[in-house]
Amino acid sequence: MDFHFPKYVIQVIGKVMISPWNPSNLNQGEVVLKNANRFTEEGIHPILEWLHRHPPSTKPDFVSSQGNFMMLMCTPFEKTEERENMPFYRLQARKWAEKFKDILSRPPNSDYTNFFNSKNSCEGIFSSSLDGIKLIYGAEVKAIRDSINEPLKCEDLIDCKINKILTNRKFLDFSKTKLIKWWCLNYLTGVPETLCGFRDEGLVNEIRSFKTTNMPKMRGVNWKPNVCLEFLRNLLHYLKGELINDPNVVHNVSWDPPGTTIKIARSERDISYVVEDKYRV
């Protein structure tokens, strides 16, 4: 199986630089939290609009978001489906995560008591191929290193996360459930590293670097990268075959956990429900 992950970012909308600074108190200042990243809120329309304005030399087989491909890659090792409810504590954790990124992006001795509006997000458009299947997808870009190259390379990007301080037992759950998602997200975009702030409530006590290439080798990992990629490849190959035979049909793709059985059914919706006429080829 051949996967060519992107070496260059096609385009980044806005920039968030990152400086070598250790944050401590994530409760400082107010965070205006966006509902979700742009691709979650608007679907693939921002990506289709970009492609409409910048037609690629080779048309992609699939246009999606990084999160959708990550979800499919994790399916072989998922036990339950994530719930969409947002209790208060989880909402607070998201604010801490945004504040962590904000503090990392500022020089030392900055004023961290100001408002931080996470709605001013930074997105990138990426192109890659998986066993001959051409993919274009959008992804939120958390941060860019200070010493960036021109053109911007994926190795210049860095991801930022926060997590509760881990005990030995919790570290095993962390390796099984968190690292697989981090690896999939970074692998799809060629991001080489994730910085994680380990917190006790809103106080960060430690920042650790997780290299993408080392994640599958860490203690407690029970997932395999080749299985994730093979599952995605097989599903996309099947869908591509269905779409070649009838390109103007909408298909519903669903999954009932646990297990790897994916249900694909034709929908009664018109293709215009998913893709506007001006974006269709």
Comparing C-alpha atoms, which of 189, 194, 190 is closest to residue 215? 194
Whether 273 is in a domain gets the answer: yes
| Host domain of residue 111 | 7-279
Contacts of 182 (CB under 8 A, 6+ apart): 159, 161, 194, 210, 212, 215
Contacts of 277 (CB under 8 A, 6+ apart): none
Whether 81 is in a domain gets the answer: yes
Contacts of 12 (CB under 8 A, 6+ apart): 122, 123, 124, 141, 144, 152
pLDDT of the residue at 178 = 94
Whether 40 is in a domain gets the answer: yes
Residue 49's alpha-carbon distances to 42, 45, 125, 280, in angstroms, are 11, 6, 11, 11
Whether 2 is in a domain gets the answer: no
- The low-confidence residues of the chain, meaning pLDDT below 70, are 1-23, 32-42, 80-89, 107-108, 112, 114-121, 146-149, 259, 281
What pTM value is reported for the model? 0.85
Number of independent structural domains in the chain: 1
- Burial degree of 188 (CB within 10 A; 0-12, 13-18, 19+): buried
Q: List 31's β-bridge partners, or say none.
A: 116
Whether 1 is in a domain gets the answer: no
* Residue 12, phi then psi, degrees to nearest 5: -120, 130
Whether 60 is in a domain gets the answer: yes
pLDDT of the residue at 14 = 45
Whether 146 is in a domain gets the answer: yes
* Residue 158, phi then psi, degrees to nearest 5: -145, 145
Whether 25 is in a domain gets the answer: yes
